[in-house]
Amino acid sequence: MQDVKEVKIRKKKKLGSYPYVSVVFSISLALFVIGLFGLLILHASKLTQIIRENIEIQVYLNQTISDNDQIKVQKTLAGRDYIAITEDGTPKVRFISKEEAAESFIDQTGEDFIQFLGENPLRDAYVINIRPEFYDTKELQKIKLDIERINGVFEVTYVESLINSINKNIAKISLVLMGFAVLLVIIVAVLINNTIRLALFSQRFLIRSMQLVGATRGFIKKPFLFRSLIHGIVAGICAALLLLLLLNYANQQIEDLDKLQEPAKITIMLIGLLLIGGFMGLLSTYRAVNKYLKMSLDELY
């Protein structure tokens, strides 16, 4: 019976051991919150991109333009680096004839202006979409001037007030999200640090005992750092699995939510959680062990 007790005592006093279940659980929750916020930012970023790519710019052509010049305008537009590209690599340049424009206007208003005027005053036009990074007000002005210099182009128009409003709102939202992200990282870092410090509190006398028998600081730190790295990575894996389950459930409940998701970026974020878990575990453990190594015997009580 006495031997059994001695084995239990030795297990409890094993260097580098501490209540790892609570530590892994706490770090997993902290990383899960970071990951959840990261998913929110990724979805918001993709939604912003989709909104910008769906804003259309109208390029009106001269009334007397020839078919050859019209084709040249299309090729010139398609070759510009600011034109958005579809998934299959096709430039987003769409032709709308003045007849199609007239039919659309009549369908929407119910008034046949051609019969009233005796002719169709509308112009043939190309509708283009711009890549998201060019939706700055100054960049759009440059694009407008560039296209209007193309031979055969009469005028370039877009809803400037709408684009300015979108850009201002996106800037405000980005600033708020960035502020929350910084605050969240600080809170999580403090939480993980305090969790590991509390877990190592029970090891402070063992650390002191190892010092008294002549163990070097590196020898004492090694098992703690190794375990903290493993626990941090395990916590990262747990958080990543929870996020994947939540994401899968959300996709089933919310229609077309998967269109806002980019698997490559989500994968990078999940790998980042593993690295953050391991790094924060190492850093917090290193600081905690150093603290107990520097304490005097009286301070340990």
* Residues 134 and 87 reside in one and the same domain: yes
Q: Model confidence over 144-172: pLDDT tens digits?
A: 999 989 888 888 888 777 777 777 887 78
Q: Are residues 62 and 140 in the same domain?
A: yes
Statement to judge: residues 131 and 174 lie in one domain: no
What's the domain range around 93? 56-158
CATH number of the domain at 151, please. 3.30.70.3040
- pLDDT values of the chain reduced to their tens digit, one per residue, 301 residues: 444 444 444 444 454 455 667 778 888 888 898 888 888 888 888 888 787 777 888 899 988 888 888 889 889 998 888 888 887 888 888 888 878 876 776 677 666 655 666 566 678 889 998 888 888 778 888 999 999 898 888 888 887 777 777 778 877 887 887 888 788 878 877 877 777 777 666 676 676 677 666 767 777 778 878 888 888 899 899 999 999 999 999 888 888 888 888 889 999 999 998 998 888 888 888 887 777 666 655 555 5
Cα dihedral: 16, 19, 25, 31 (round 10): -30
Query: 7 and 60: one domain?
Result: no
Same domain, 39 and 132: no
Q: pTM of this prediction?
A: 0.69
Q: Does residue 228 sit in the same domain as residue 291? A: yes
Instruction: Mark whether 294 and 201 lie in a shared domain.
Output: yes
Final residue belonging to a domain, choices 158, 181, 210: 158
211, 293 Cβ separation under 8 angstroms: yes
Indicate if 187 and 288 belong to the same structural domain: yes
The span from the CA of 180 to the CA of 114, in Å, is: 56
Q: Would you call 156 helix, strand, or coil by DSSP?
A: strand
- Start-to-end CA span in the chain (Å): 31
Distance of alpha carbon 9 from alpha carbon 186, whole angstroms: 38
The residue behind tokens 């980019």 is 262
Q: List the structure tokens of 247.
A: 């994401």
CB 263 within 8 A of CB 42: no
Q: Are residues 110 and 214 in the same domain?
A: no
Q: Answer yes or no: do 172 and 138 share one domain.
A: no
Total count of domains within the chain? 2
Whether 176 contacts 200, CB under 8 Å = no
Look at residues 111, 133, 158 and tell me which one is the last residue of a structural domain.
Answer: 158
- Residues with Cβ < 8 Å from 209, sequence gap 6 or more? none
| Domain C-terminal end among 96, 131, 158 | 158
Of the candidates 53, 129, 65, the one whose C-alpha atom is nearest the C-alpha of residue 97 is: 65
Same domain, 173 and 293: yes
270 and 172 within one domain: yes
